[in-house]
Amino acid sequence: MRMDTKRNCGDRLKRIEGQVRGIARMVEEDRYCIDILTQIRAIHAALRGVEDEVLKDHVEHCVEGAIASGDGDEQRRKVQELLTVLTKRDR
């Protein structure tokens, strides 16, 4: 993973961690269900953002590297990994 991606994802994950702690407090304080659900949806969106960034980095670095290598086995392996992750993504 490239350093800029690593740093950006780390920053995002720290914010998400704070959001999760906030939801735990909301539950403990018996806050209104819709408010809790709204915050959970925000965390889902934030995690999708991190997922998209890691996926983009993987394609631009790992998959492109396999293509550039000319190694057919490595190319197929990287494409299969990508397909496996993408088919599980929306489950």
- At 73, list the tokens: 């086995």
Q: Is the pLDDT of residue 32 over 90?
A: yes
pLDDT tens digits, residue range 63-74? 999 999 999 999
47 by Cβ neighbours in 10 Å (0-12 / 13-18 / 19+) ranks as: middle
The residue with tokens 């995002």 is: 12
What pLDDT is stored for residue 90 in this prediction? 67
pLDDT tens digits, residue range 34-88? 999 999 999 999 999 999 999 999 999 999 999 999 999 999 999 999 999 998 8
Handedness of CA 45, 17, 87, 38 (dihedral sign): negative
pTM to 2 decimal places: 0.85
Distances (CA, A) of 87 to 69, 80, 82, 90, 91: 26, 11, 9, 7, 8
Q: Is the pLDDT of residue 28 over 70?
A: yes
